[in-house]
Structure 1
Amino acid sequence: MAKIASIEYFRVLPRWLFVKICDEKGNVGWGEATLEGHTQAVEGCLDALRGRILGYEADAIEHIWQTCYRLGFYRGGPVLMSALAGIDIALWDLKSRRLNVPLYQLLGGAVRHKIKVYSWIGGDRPRDIEAAAKERWSQGFRTIKMNATEDVDWLDAPKALEASVDRLKIVKALGMDAALDFHGRLHKPMAKQLAKALEPHHPFFIEEPLLSEHHEGIKQLSQLTTIPIALGERLYSRWDAKRFLQDSSVDILQPDISHCGGISEMRRMAAMAEAYDVAVAPHCPLGPIALAACMQFAISTSNFAIQEMSLGIHYNTEIGEYDITNYIINKDVWTVKDGYIDAFHGIGLGVEVDEVEVREVAKTAPPWPPKGFTGPDGSIREW
């Protein structure tokens, strides 16, 4: 075994934060600590954690996780758990590379040979939705996710929901499954109406029909609809997820591996979910390292359902266009065929990071600003 010699982080375009850990024998692992809109806060947390764990045995992944989480009294939340995620993923990558095995072998081995995936489509007008869905089909996807609504107020006219049903019908007519992401935009009166309107058209699931802090509202809604309810990108640990599992208010748990403490905590959340007959569909509209970590989780987890990925989504910045094919050398791992990606078999995370590109872009990459929009009355609305 060898001790941790260095921990670096790299802010890269379009909005990602990578972590590199080296041990004293030269072994390397990569992680991702992306937290959209809060990059500098996570970087500050990584500075603090780096000072805490330098010199620890790099193989002591669980001890390091507990040290980062518990040694400091205040724990949890998106910033700490995202920083911890970057460290945790990098340590798993380092260990499996040192042992020259795919990471999933350290997680118990493979339970599947391919991984079901879906991607996002934007746009709100019917012709935009149809064109975007057809493009995803041509890329190999058979399931997509899209916004459930545009801007909707606390109590809006029911006709504001009609477009949601129309967009779902367009995608279903193409032979694809479609999930609808409410993004917590709706409040309970409108969410109840929209769930009922969507139900006859069988969406794949509805995501964050209410904000996760409205636990009691989600529980009520779950008793009013047969549509599977998914949430979890704003749950950062097993303790955050526990109440939703205990009262059967969620059908699909969606932790984000870059927000929930990494591979170690996502596995614990999945084990809890399995005991309640709840599937796991990791949230991941993020970078290639986070997605690769999700793939290793998916290969080795029995109650995994489907993986979100941002293939085909291009982020335009002032100095170029970026997507998940950037920063990795073996880009062919993202090949989608008939809605699936083949299981990774390369060592570690299964992706080879282009460190030259990472370091070059990190020289000038700005932090990604918080996103959102305002309603016609000037009030702040959910992203």
Structure 2
Amino acid sequence: MTKIASIEPILARVGIRNQLLVKVTTESGIVGWGESGLSAREESVAATIRHFSEFLIGQDSRNISRIWQETYRSQYFEGGRVLTAAMSAIDIALYDILGKRLEVPVYQLLGGKQRDVIPTFGCCTGNSIEELVDNVRTLVKDGWTSVRINSSGFETGQIFDPRTAMVIAAEELKQIRKEFGPQLCLGIDLHHRLSVAETASFCNMMPSGTVDYIEEPIRDESPEAYASLRTLTQIPFAIGEEFSSKWQAAPFLERGLTQYMRVDICNIGGFTEAMKLAGWSEAHYVDMMPHNPLGPVCTAATVHFSAAVPNFSWLETRQSSVEQLGFHDPEIFPKQVQMDGAVYIVPDGPGLGVEVNEEIIRKQTPLHVEPPHLRRPDGSVTNW
């Protein structure tokens, strides 16, 4: 009775974004939940999940690693974010099922707990330096010792002027560091909108010690570009939320091009691939700093992963008092991982520890979402 009976993608609007969940059910009636991380392209992932279900239904749900290999290797064109986002959701759901079957939390399936609570970094932005600093002040008051900002200079509508954005962001970071001192771990998400030269100039705008890391300054297609950038600044990099395999991450680890690994368990290939990447990162003294921008299923999976790996720094959270995003609606998710101040409490129940109110979530009509198509002042297209 361990065979997979059904695999169903469920796309719904939760809070201010869509969530693509996957419901996997065994012949004995055990339900496992997974989540995909490829935001704004969910329909393509849902189609892939339906395709995978054609050969996964009837297979033993316990053969998680083998299923990962078959979904990865059963087509000529290997990998890619659409495929691995679908694989991630299925893999997470299968771990949820196995934990429920054995009546143990998922982290026990990964080797047990390394820690009892999961430290997080709080995220915030603001429409002005004053508002941003005030939001950081709130996070610090609420117990956060690690904060990542999204600069108001990078939130400029459809037109993105790199120089203007860099100047604003540098002033914001200097002001935050001045008020909160060296004790606060301070990072910034550049959302891969800059070039190598622009990033180097941005880093030079700030005194040494202003910022503890910069996240995703440029796109990840070229490790050589990151190698060049690495020679131009001493500020640590946090890279990896775009990675869809250990192979994609490999040159960044082998060549020392990132100091924090921003793995996304809902994109990399679920627990199966994330644990391999964690081991590879540990060998290079790189700590995991997981990407966690989605809902309770993603959060729960990432908390279990974060509990099990030895090399860990902070987990991203979008549940602080300065972000009212609605991703973790308690009516839709009556049971979910809980926070205590700035940390997640590692759940001890079977599986992931998440329940979904299907009656409600199936009524949440998804919206068609198209990310901003940013242009520079001269009219040319640039990265969002």
Whether 1:168 and 2:173 are equivalent positions in the alignment is yes
Q: Given the alignment, which residue of 118, 123, 130 partners 1:120?
A: 123
Q: For each residue in 1:284-319, what CA deviation from the matched residue of structure 2 results, as whole angstroms up to 9, or x when unmatched?
A: 11111011100000000001211012114334xxxx
Structure-2 residue corresponding to 1:213: 221
Q: Is the 8 A contact 1:155 1:190 kept in 2?
A: no
Structure-2 residue corresponding to 1:60: 63
Q: Is the 8 A contact 1:81 1:261 kept in 2?
A: yes
How far the C-alpha of 1:132 sits from its partner, in A, is: 2.0
Q: Is the 8 A contact 1:38 1:370 kept in 2?
A: no
Q: Is the 8 A contact 1:16 1:287 kept in 2?
A: yes
* Counterpart Cα distance in 1 of 2:121 and 2:161: 31
Report the 3-state secondary structure (helix = DSSP H, G, I; strand = E; otherwise coil) of the residue aligned with 1:381. Answer: coil
| Stretch deviating more after TM superposition (286-295 or 351-360) | 351-360
Residues 323, 188 of structure 1: alpha-carbon distance in 2 compared, 3 angstrom cutoff? same
* Counterpart Cα distance in 2 of 1:294 and 1:131: 29
Structure-1 residue corresponding to 2:372: 371
Point out where structure 1 has 5 or more consecutive residues left out of the alignment.
Answer: 316-321
State, as a whole percentage, how many aligned pairs show the same letter: 31
Residues 368, 263 of structure 1: alpha-carbon distance in 2 compared, 3 angstrom cutoff? farther
Whether 1:135 and 2:141 are equivalent positions in the alignment is no
Q: Given the alignment, which residue of 312, 332, 339 partners 1:335?
A: 339
* Counterpart Cα distance in 1 of 2:99 and 2:368: 31
Superposed counterparts of 1:5-154, under 5 Å = 5-13=5-13, 14-147=17-150, 149-150=153-154
How far the C-alpha of 1:261 sits from its partner, in A, is: 0.7
* Counterpart Cα distance in 1 of 2:369 and 2:144: 28
How far the C-alpha of 1:243 sits from its partner, in A, is: 0.9
Point out where structure 2 has 5 or more consecutive residues left out of the alignment.
Answer: none
* Counterpart Cα distance in 2 of 1:293 and 1:360: 24
How far the C-alpha of 1:19 sits from its partner, in A, is: 0.4
* Counterpart Cα distance in 1 of 2:327 and 2:47: 26
RMSD: 2.2
Structure-1 residue corresponding to 2:303: 295
How far the C-alpha of 1:374 sits from its partner, in A, is: 2.6
The AA in structure 1 aligned to 2:78 is: R
Q: Given the alignment, which residue of 309, 315, 321 partners 1:307?
A: 315
TM-score by length of 2: 0.91
Q: Is the 8 A contact 1:284 1:309 kept in 2?
A: yes
Structure-2 residue corresponding to 1:323: 327
Q: Given the alignment, which residue of 209, 219, 224 partners 1:201?
A: 209
Q: Is the 8 A contact 1:15 1:34 kept in 2?
A: no
How far the C-alpha of 1:138 sits from its partner, in A, is: 4.6
Q: Is the 8 A contact 1:209 1:218 kept in 2?
A: no
Structure-1 residue corresponding to 2:348: 345
Q: For each residue in 1:39-60, what CA deviation from the matched residue of structure 2 results, as whole angstroms up to 9, or x when unmatched?
A: 1110111111111211000111
Q: Is the 8 A contact 1:129 1:170 kept in 2?
A: no
* Counterpart Cα distance in 1 of 2:132 and 2:189: 14
How far the C-alpha of 1:329 sits from its partner, in A, is: 1.1
Q: For each residue in 1:176-223, what CA deviation from the matched residue of structure 2 results, as whole angstroms up to 9, or x when unmatched?
A: 322111111111111111123335134231111211113212112223
Q: For each residue in 1:11-40, what CA deviation from the matched residue of structure 2 results, as whole angstroms up to 9, or x when unmatched?
A: 111221000100000111000013111111
How far the C-alpha of 1:109 sits from its partner, in A, is: 0.3
Q: For each residue in 1:92-128, what CA deviation from the matched residue of structure 2 results, as whole angstroms up to 9, or x when unmatched?
A: 0010011111110110000111111013212352012
Aligned length: 372
* Counterpart Cα distance in 2 of 1:160 and 1:135: 24
